[in-house]
Amino acid sequence: MLFGLACSALGSFTGSFATTSVVLLGSRFLEGIGYILTAVSAPGLILQVTRKTDVRIAFGVWGSFFPMGASTMMLLAPFLVDFFGWRGLWRINAVLPFTFAILLALATRGLDTHVTRRRNPLKNLVKDIWLTLKTPGPLLLGLCFAAYGFQFVVVAGFLPTLLIEEHGVIPAKAAILSAFVVAMNVPGNLVGGWLLQKGLKRWHLVAGPNLITGLCCFGIYKSGMPLSYSYLLCLVFAGIGGIFPAAALHGAAVNAPTPELVATSQGLLLQGAQLGLLTGPPMAATVVSHTGDWQSASWVLMAAALLVVALSFVLGAVERRKGID
């Protein structure tokens, strides 16, 4: 995590001085490495420092990191750019992870570490990845996260365009409304952790929210739907949908083939999410462009939601067979 935060800080700081596209993209690549290292390292650390009775709540809190950061920056970025310029904004984004790296180093000073030196690290890496891939739990959750990420990025990413084109909202207001939708994912994450803590089955928290988000899309993209109703459904989509990441992140940790492979399982989950974020916009845009109707996007998103529901039944059976809570 410390190295990942350092990469993020260095990437943002270097990018703020970029004068060519090569340096600019290279700095983003470094920042992306930092993001991945931080995201996959955190769950293992959470398991190590959290009491067993609080783990589910802790994963609910951790699951909110992306929507909390994204919505905050969506709201603040326009003002920060006006005041500091984009280079100044990137330097602020360099200070943040550097500051948290210092705080993390101080907070974990007394933490026991177990360093294992293994021969043939590349061979072991391939073996660990293969073992994770053939373990049903992490693989199923990775596929679920891909389908969920697909839904989320289409609704949140295209929301400003939808508000402007279909409802005549001015761009500045559309950006603020979109930021609040992303922010609604945060209480959903916390509720998800709380529901896990109360003993609800994980597959219920995977299937239920995704079924609701899929149904919400039909109202969000319905032609002639008043702005107030459409926007309310977007808030419900993000709030209820936020329950899923908490369940999935905790599930990837407890379904890991071994305690040492928690980070590898989280990496598989993260790659699933990135796959959904990558494929969602172009697929939805292609369908909408071909039909000329936003309503057609609803069927694509509902198909993704139903895929998660189907996979959740398999996940429930796998966890029952293995006795995983």
The full length of the chain comes to: 325
**Cα dihedral 247/175/304/301 (nearest 10):** 140
pLDDT of residue 8: 96
Is the Cβ–Cβ distance between 305 and 147 less than 8 Å? yes
| Neighbouring residues of 182: CB distance < 8 A, sequence distance ≥ 6 | 67, 70, 71, 74, 156, 238
Tokens (6 digits) for 224:
């002639």
User: Mean pLDDT of all residues in the chain?
Assistant: 91
DSSP three-state, residue 270: helix
Dump pLDDT digits (tens) for 223-267. 888 999 999 999 999 999 999 999 999 999 999 998 888 888 988
pLDDT digits (tens, 9 = 90+) for 67-98: 999 999 988 988 899 999 999 999 999 999 99
Q: For the domain 2-322, what is the CATH code?
A: 1.20.1250.20
- What Å distances lie between residue 122 and 34, 37, 129, 151, CA to CA? 21, 18, 11, 35
**Considering the entire predicted model, what is its pTM?**
0.87
Cα 71–Cα 164–Cα 303 angle in degrees, nearest 5: 70
Q: Above 80 in pLDDT, residue 119?
A: no
Count the Cβ atoms, other than its own, within 10 Å of residue 241: 27
What does the pLDDT read at residue 18? 94
